[in-house]
Structures are given as C-alpha cells and as structure tokens.
Amino acid sequence: MATPKVNPEDSAMAWRIHKKGLLPVTMKKETIPIPEPKQGEVLVEVHSASINPVEWKIPAHAPGFFQKFPRSIGTDFSGVILRTGSSLTPDQQSRFQPGTRVLGMIPTETSVRYGQGSLTTHVSVRVENLAAIPASIDTSLSSEEAAGLPLASSTALHLVRKARAGDKVLVLGGSTSVGLILLQMLKAEGVGHIVATASGDKKDTVKKRGADEVIDYREEDVVQTLKRNHSREQFDVILDTVGDFAVFGACAAYLKESGEYANVGASDMKPDGSIWSNLSVVRNIVSLYLPWWLGGVPRKSSWGEFVRGAMPEVTDRYLVTNIVTCPIDSRFTFDDAPKAYERLMTGRALGKIIVNIKHPSDPAVRSHL
C-alpha cells in the first residue's frame, strides 16, 4: 500500500467536546492541527473508528475539573501509519513503518488528561497501544472489523484469563461487544460449559458465538434461575460485562467458594447523568470489596480492568487463527458520528458501532462481513 502524503500545513478534522455534558449534544466537528508524533509515537491516518460506552459516561458523569477541555473523543481505531516519532526501538521501527496498517486504541486516561481521541482523521499514538495487522490477514480483515476490536478484545482477554480449561463459566451480558468476543475466546480456551445472559432475538447470536445455555433476562428472574439450576453444580467463575450487582449479591448460592466474580461493567450509569445514577455505581463498586463480616459477599471479586498492550496477543493468538471475529451492529459516516452515539446509548446494539472516517468504498475500508 502506498503511504499517504502529509503536508505539514494540512489540518485534521476531529469530533471534540468543550464541556461536561451528554453526548451527542456536546459534540462538535472541528478543524485541528495534524499532531506531530512525539517520542515513542507514530502518526496514523485513521480509516475507521468504533465507539464505546465509556466515551459518553465520563463526559456525562465525571466532574468537569477531572476532564481536559476541549478534547477529542473516541477510543478504538484502525488506519495506516504516516510517519514515526523518535526513540523507537529497532523492533518497533521494523513493525511500525510508514504504510503499515494498524489497529489501536487511545486509553481512557490519555483522552481525559491529554485530549486525544480516535474520532479524528489523524491521531498520534504510542506504539504500545497499537498492533500491526499481520500480513496473513491484511487482505481479509477490513478496517471496520479492525477498529471494532481493541478495547472490547483487551477487556475480554482480561476476563478470559480468569477461566481455565474445563471450567463452568457464567457470562453476564453475553450480547454486549465484550461478551460476544469473550464467548469466542472462552470456547477456544476449552472451558467446559458456558451459561450466558441475553434477551429476545439476541439469544441465537450468543449461542452461535459459544454459549451452551442462554438465560433470557427479560423473561426470567436471573438470580432465581441461577439458584434453581446451578446451586448444586456451581460456577468456577462469573464474568460480568454489564455490572449485574443483583447476581453478584446472591452469587454465594451458585459460585464456588474458590471461584471469582470479575466485573468490567457499569450499566447503572444512565444518560441522565443524575447523582442517583452515580451513587448507585459507587455503592455497587464498594460492595465488591466489602469483607463478608461487614455485609460483603463471601467470594473473591474484582472490578474494571483490561489488559494493557494486549493487541499483539489478540492479533497473533485469536485473529490470525480466525478464532475471534468482530461483530458489527451498524456503520455511520464521519459526519454522522453523533447518530452513532445515539444508537450506542439505546443499549440495543448487537456488536460494535463503527464510524468510517474514510469512505467505505476505499479499498482500505472495505468490509468483508
């Protein structure tokens, strides 16, 4: 692939926010300078991006003094390296040459503290937050699929490491983006039996991705169903992608004493940004760490993590082998990025929501789905 030309006087376009508040109302499409890659960074021409709930939850809920304004928004992206900064190791220089197709992410703390985001035409990013797309899948992995993977697969990788071959596993939120990728990883790692939660017409997709049994949370009381069906043969691990604290509170009835409850979700955060929503999340997080003698749940628990620098492992272990594919819910143009967030905030997406920065007819952005 020919390396795109960059004129230093050219400008980038980015979706940015200038104040605390609810996306998409606060989003503005603006012209900004093309960033210059610093030490350990490369400049990427972004082809596609995908969006994540954390991108609207922090602007809506976090105190204004905690956030840098103005700042670009967005986490995940794919694109092509334009040029490199200084201080790259020889190995990094070899892997991240201009013209190389990559997928990567802007960590949340980087966006909040320094104002970077992936919903832009150009982004300068540290190489540890990137992975080069292997030559063996360069022609088969679309930019849309690549953009949908970084944060969801890094989070799923954190969760899958909690399970071992032969384990009985409960996945809460099987139809979330993280859940759909996690199910594929769990199956590949040889877990024994997977129970997942989902609703309605999403149940079939969840089964196709790897669940052996699906509980419809709209039709059944999940806690009662778990107590009834899984109290004798309990789970080795519960992996929660949504933050279902009712299930956590009762899990001693169906999670082994040696088991772990790992949560990465915060679904109690609502778009209204109300103080009650925030307090509910804080209360639930505190409950994860309360000792049993203070009313806590007598099981090991953890909250809110992903594997940093995980993308090379994801690409080499799961993408090259075709174990994991990225589920895509919908696609939007760059100009329609606010509509993408409207879709995300409905909570009804089945897979990743993609924003194409370059036109989908461009060969680098073609879809193979």
Residue 194 is assigned to a structural domain of this protein: yes
Query: Which position has the token pair 């699906």?
Result: 214
**DSSP alpha helix (H) spans, the chain:** 54-61, 90-95, 108-114, 143-147, 150-160, 177-188, 202-209, 222-230, 245-249, 275-289, 311-313, 337-345
**In terms of domains, do 126 and 183 share one?**
no
Per residue in 286-333, pLDDT (tens digit) is 665 666 656 578 899 988 777 788 889 999 999 999 999 999 999 999
**DSSP alpha helix (H) spans, 35-148:** 54-61, 90-95, 108-114, 143-147
Examine the pLDDT at 22 and tell me if it is beyond 70: yes
Q: Are strands 11-17 and 28-33 parallel, antiparallel or unpaired?
A: antiparallel
Q: What's the rounded Cα separation, in Å, for the pair 5 and 3?
A: 6
Provide the percentage of residues in the chain whose pLDDT is more than 90: 78
| CA Rg value for the chain | 21
Examine the pLDDT at 13 and tell me if it is beyond 90: yes
**In terms of domains, do 163 and 297 share one?**
yes
The residue out of 272, 303, 334 marking a domain boundary is 303
Which residues sit opposite 30 in a β-bridge? 14
The residue out of 303, 334, 356 marking a domain boundary is 303
**In terms of domains, do 56 and 128 share one?**
yes
Residue 274 is assigned to a structural domain of this protein: yes
Per residue in 197-225, pLDDT (tens digit) is 999 999 999 999 999 999 999 999 999 99
- The CATH number covering residue 72 comes to 3.90.180.10
The predicted pLDDT at position 307 comes to: 77
**In terms of domains, do 35 and 166 share one?**
no
Q: What's the rounded Cα separation, in Å, for the pair 217 and 337?
A: 31
Could you give the maximum distance between any two Cα atoms of the chain, in Å? 67
Q: What's the rounded Cα separation, in Å, for the pair 347 and 325?
A: 21
The predicted pLDDT at position 177 comes to: 97
Residue 81 is assigned to a structural domain of this protein: yes
**In terms of domains, do 185 and 243 share one?**
yes
Residue in 172, 177, 182 with CA at minimum distance from that of residue 52: 177
Residue 242 is assigned to a structural domain of this protein: yes
DSSP string, 233-284: S-EEEEEESS--HHHHHTGGGTEEEEEEEEE---TT--TT--HHHHHHHHHH
Angle at 281 between CA 63 and CA 308, to 5 degrees: 80
**In terms of domains, do 331 and 286 share one?**
no
Per residue in 88-139, pLDDT (tens digit) is 999 999 999 999 999 999 999 999 999 999 999 999 999 999 999 999 999 9
Residue 66 is assigned to a structural domain of this protein: yes
Residue 233 phi, psi (nearest 5): -100, 90
Q: What's the rounded Cα separation, in Å, for the pair 259 and 79?
A: 40
Q: Rounded to the nearest 10 degrees, how much is the dihedral formed by the CA atoms of 106, 23, 326, 164?
A: 70
Examine the pLDDT at 279 and tell me if it is beyond 60: no
The predicted pLDDT at position 364 comes to: 45
- Residue 123, classified by CB atoms within 10 Å of its CB into exposed (0-12), middle (13-18) or buried (19+), is buried
**In terms of domains, do 120 and 225 share one?**
no
The number of distinct structural domains making up the chain is: 2
**In terms of domains, do 226 and 290 share one?**
yes
- Give residue 68's domain range: 11-149+326-365
Q: What is the DSSP letter of 294?
A: G
Residue 318 is assigned to a structural domain of this protein: no
Residue 309 is assigned to a structural domain of this protein: no
For residue 23, give Cα distances in angstroms to 27, 106, 329, 336.
6, 18, 19, 13
The predicted pLDDT at position 361 comes to: 47
CA 34, chain centre distance (Å): 26
- The CATH number covering residue 173 comes to 3.40.50.720
**Token pair recorded at residue 209:** 């991705």
Which residues sit opposite 335 in a β-bridge? none
**Token pair recorded at residue 110:** 């980087």
Residue 15 phi, psi (nearest 5): -90, 125
**In terms of domains, do 294 and 269 share one?**
yes
**Contact of 169 with 210, CB cutoff 8 Å:** no
Residue 311 is assigned to a structural domain of this protein: no
**In terms of domains, do 139 and 165 share one?**
no
Examine the pLDDT at 189 and tell me if it is beyond 50: yes
Sign of CA dihedral 341, 347, 349, 352: positive
Q: What is the DSSP letter of 335?
A: G
**In terms of domains, do 26 and 103 share one?**
yes
Q: With 0.85 as the threshold, say if the pTM is over it.
A: yes
**In terms of domains, do 216 and 295 share one?**
yes
Q: Rounded to the nearest 10 degrees, how much is the dihedral formed by the CA atoms of 280, 176, 27, 24?
A: -70
**Token pair recorded at residue 119:** 């919903």
